[in-house]
Amino acid sequence: MKFVAITSCPTGIAHTYMAAEALEQAAKAEGHEIRVEPQGAAGAQALGADVISAADAVIYAADLEVRDKGRFAGKPYVDVGVKAPINDAKAVLASAAEAARARTGAASGAAAAGTGGADVPTPETKVASGAGVGTRVRQWLMTGVSYMIPFVAAGGILIALGFMIGGYEIADAEPSTVIDDFSVVSAHSWGALLFLSGDALFAFLVPVLAGFIAFAIADRPGLAPGFLGGAVAVTVEAGFLGGLAAGFLAGFVALGLGRMPVPSAVRSIMPVVVTPLVASFVTGLVMFLILGRPLEALMSGLSSWLGSLTGGSLILLGAVLGLMMAFDMGGPVNKVAYTFATAGLATVGTTSGDAVEFTIMAAVMAAGMTPPLGLALATVVWRRLFTPAEVQNGKAAWLLGASFITEGAIPFAAADPLRVIPSLMVGSGVAGGLVAASGATLRAPHGGVWVIPLIGSPLMFLAAIAAGSVVTALAVWALKSVGRRSRPPESAPTAPRGHRRLTSRLRPPRREDPRRTEPCPSAPRRSARPSACTPAPRACSCRPRWRPGSRSASPEKTDPPATPAACSR
């Protein structure tokens, strides 16, 4: 097998090189190929991209932060600390080989179907050199998702806390509430502060997802076009599915450009200037011109179709709205469903009594709450079907789901869309249908469990959510167990389990390297809400203000693309 390794230690003169030598000697003895980059005081000859891409796994024998770690994004790796190879390089190579096999094995995925849940060790599979397309696609997706998760969790929890403290109307708070009129003793001020901060983080969800998918494909030159593609996906309201597409588009354009033969004079500026520039232009062009208009048509088509359903079976309507809410969680389909409900809410206004519009609103909110809740449930019950990062995200998803922040489900859906999205739709469809059948009502456009006082028949409402969540979890379990091994594929930034044990036993805490400051992939420096209220070709193509279920519509708004309500601030 082929490996690459990074070694480093605090002083950079002894362990770094002993570990490197030990790995090289052991690899020779075991018949592996290895290239080591000692990141020590003697300067490092950096591993080339071709060497890295040919490697089956990466060994981090580093007690300092690895320089330029992005080079290895998406590769299977073990992280063992500098002492492990000095003490037993053979064991380190064996665990790296296992990590490489686990990755390849998970990808081939054909054997051992239906063993989900059982405690089956990863079968030894033949190792193909160079991962297959499926594996790589998943690595790319997981890279994007793993960078997005902190934004989802932190942003979602801030928003939920904002609702808790400031009530659901906090979603209409102006930035001036916080900037000009902040009062330390006002719950409204604090709620607004929390909500606006979470809202700003949510603005990054799709750009970060797209940006780091492109980064995983094309390395740093992919970052700018990827972020751009994600931002345009937000602008044209393509949701996270649009972001996925944008990430792949930007990544491959950048990768292709990076591989083009160019004169040596230009080569040095390719990765920094030319590739990001050209790839950004191409990505922007495709996203705006090719995706924008059809999406608009799709949305208006769906809207009128929904309108034609009114007056028919309310249960059917609730179920359909539920399916739509869960389909793209903030994308065009979700938006149509959410707007349909809030527009209805606006038409009945403050009518007392139980207008059917109130029930539709309740169905839509329930359907938007079950995706994160169902997934959170699934991560608890069938932990092994999820990566460690997903299990962590599952903990935040409880609060996000309870607060009607459907985005909590996006990391799961983006990582495994074909299995997760249908599961979410089934559960949300059930929840929407049940709410419609029960006749529960809701008089607020958002808020989750924090608006229970505004819900008619709250027990029925909660029962519908519970049922929908259980259905979601069961569906996820069923789909994820089919054609997949019992052990989940490990995501890029998390370590394979087997070597975790090795890690905890061997490695001392990582230290800051006193010799340098590491640049990290930082978020764009522009304001958190880059396009808010800038003039744009479409009436409401500024980044809409976040609303539960991601939609920008205000209750008084009937046709979101035509009414720039969200832009006016």
Partner 1 sequence: MSEPNRPLVTAELVDTGLSASDRDDAARQLAALLHKAGRVSDLDGFLDDVRAREAQMATGMPGRVGLPHARSAHVAVPSLAVGICPGGVDFGGPDGPARLVFLIAAPAGSDEDHMRILAALARKLIHAEFREALLESPDARSVADTVIREVDVA
DSSP character string of 65-126: PPTTGGGGTT--EEE--SHHHHHHHHHHHHHHHHHHHHHHHHHH--SSTT-TTS-PPPPP-P
DSSP character string of 37-48: EE-STT---PPP
| Binders in 481-520 for partner 1, by CB under 8 A | 508, 511
90 versus 383: smaller Cβ distance to partner 1: 90
Report the sign of the C-alpha dihedral through residues 257, 138, 130, 69, in that order.
positive
State which H helix or E strand residue 441 sits in: strand 441-442
Is 322 a binding residue for partner 1 by CB under 8 A? The answer is no
The C-alpha atoms of residue 6 and residue 15 are separated, in whole angstroms, by 12
63 versus 237: smaller Cβ distance to partner 1: 63
The 236-275 contact track toward partner 1, x by CB under 8 A, reads: ----------------------------------------
Is 288 a binding residue for partner 1 by CB under 8 A? The answer is no
Give the shortest CB-83-to-partner 1 separation in angstroms.
Answer: 7
- Window of 5-13, 107-115, 332-340, 388-396 that interacts with partner 1 by CB under 8 A: 5-13
12 versus 468: smaller Cβ distance to partner 1: 12
23 versus 317: smaller Cβ distance to partner 1: 23
Among residues 9, 540, 542, 567, which one is catalytic? 9
How many residues contact partner 1, by CB under 8 A?
Answer: 25
The C-alpha atoms of residue 77 and residue 60 are separated, in whole angstroms, by 7
| Binders in 33-52 for partner 1, by CB under 8 A | 38, 40-43
Give the shortest CB-512-to-partner 1 separation in angstroms.
Answer: 12
Q: Which of 2, 69, 83, 510 binds partner 1 (CB under 8 A)?
A: 83
- Judge contact between 329 and 202, C-beta under 8 A: no
Please, which residues have CB within 8 angstroms of residue 449's CB and are 6 or more apart in sequence?
402, 403, 462
83 versus 136: smaller Cβ distance to partner 1: 83
- Determine the distance from the C-alpha atom of residue 224 to the mean position of all C-alpha atoms in its chain, rounded to a whole number: 18
- Judge contact between 162 and 509, C-beta under 8 A: no
Give the shortest CB-139-to-partner 1 separation in angstroms.
Answer: 33
| Binders in 178-207 for partner 1, by CB under 8 A | none
| Binders in 52-71 for partner 1, by CB under 8 A | 63
**CA-based nearest residue to 252, from 201, 216, 288:** 216
Give the shortest CB-45-to-partner 1 separation in angstroms.
Answer: 11
89 versus 217: smaller Cβ distance to partner 1: 89
Q: What separation in angstroms does the CA of 43 have from each of 30, 51, 334, 369?
A: 28, 19, 53, 53
Give the shortest CB-509-to-partner 1 separation in angstroms.
Answer: 10
Is 87 a binding residue for partner 1 by CB under 8 A? The answer is yes
540 has catalytic annotation: no
Assigned token pair, 499: 């070597």
- Determine the distance from the C-alpha atom of residue 44 to the mean position of all C-alpha atoms in its chain, rounded to a whole number: 34
3 versus 147: smaller Cβ distance to partner 1: 3
| Binders in 8-27 for partner 1, by CB under 8 A | 9-18, 20-22, 25
The C-alpha atoms of residue 22 and residue 515 are separated, in whole angstroms, by 24
The C-alpha atoms of residue 337 and residue 327 are separated, in whole angstroms, by 10
Catalytic residues: 9
Provide the binding-site residues for partner 1, judged by CB under 8 A.
Answer: 9-18, 20-22, 25, 38, 40-43, 63, 83, 86-87, 508, 511
